[in-house]
Chain A
Amino acid sequence: QSALTQPASVSGSPGQSITISCTGTSSDVSDYKYVSWYQQHPGKAPKLMIYDVSDRPSGVSNRFSGSQSGNTASLIISGLQAEDEADYYCTSYTSTSVIFGGGTRLTVL
């Protein structure tokens, strides 16, 4: 099945902005129109942060935003806070499957 590539780790200082990329490797990944992003703290269930590339579910801070260029989607976190330290996963879809990226560990310095 298709794969989504994320950097293994990113880091930033409080107050800074960071970007996590998610690059598709197959032309079959639903034109990347429906990329979503999840946050997972250690020992906790994942939480939906962004869907359909750039939309935020109710209750998610507007410090989190999403964008896309070609086959690369990005999660941008502005005004980094200590609580943002977590693992982040992107997903996209083929016509018959859900594809997760490998995950990115965000460290807030």
Chain B
Amino acid sequence: EVHLLETGGGLVQPGGSLRLSCAASGFTFNTYAMSWARQSPGKGLQWVSTISGRGDSTYYADSVMGRFTISRDNSKNTLDLQMISLRVEDTAEYYCVRGPGLAVTGQGSRYFYYGMDVWGQGTTVTVSS
């Protein structure tokens, strides 16, 4: 069974740091791009970051660029999100997600396609003093 399990959420003060982890199982991890998405209380879904299957390409939302770092360990089937300089507005449920698809054109550029087809249950990050 395909499964994603997030850990690492908690309460942190503004300006603090936190590292989220996601353990993947039930599929060939290194063949899938992986993402983090989040949802603030009572708000909509927001994409945070995506990393390619081999880990050689990373993408970030403008709101987290320079503060968050996505990484993966394909030998351990794990996905991480290192978050620094946390802000109150980073408070959210953070989801580990399989996908979207990431393909390469004949010219060597990459593009997203398909969807995000497996979601973890989420881990809660609260940024508050």
A binds B: yes
CB pair A98 B50 closer than 8 Å: yes
B22-30, B81-89, B118-126: which lies at the A interface? Answer: B118-126
Question: Interface residue count for B (Cβ, 8 Å)?
Answer: 25
CB pair A46 B119 closer than 8 Å: yes
Number of A-B contacts (CB under 8 A): 75
Chain B neighbourhood of A64, CB < 8 A: none
CB pair B95 A45 closer than 8 Å: yes
Q: Find the B residue at minimum CB distance from A36.
A: B115
Roughly how many angstroms separate A100 CA and B47 CA in the complex, as a whole number?
7
Distance between B59 CB and nearest chain A CB, rounded to angstroms: 5
**B46 CB within 8 Å of chain A:** yes
Within A49-87, which residues are at the interface with B (CB < 8 Å)?
50-52, 57, 87
**A1 CB within 8 Å of chain B:** yes
Distance between B12 CB and nearest chain A CB, rounded to angstroms: 23
Chain A neighbourhood of B117, CB < 8 A: 48, 51, 57
Interface, chain A (partner B; CB < 8 A) = 1, 30, 33-34, 36, 38, 40, 45-48, 50-52, 57, 87, 89, 91, 93, 95-103
Interface, chain B (partner A; CB < 8 A) = 35, 37, 44-47, 50, 59, 61-62, 95, 100, 109-117, 119-122
Q: Please name the 5 residue pairs, one residue from A and one from B, whose CB atoms are nearest each other, closest first.
A: A36-B115, A51-B115, A93-B112, A98-B47, A45-B119
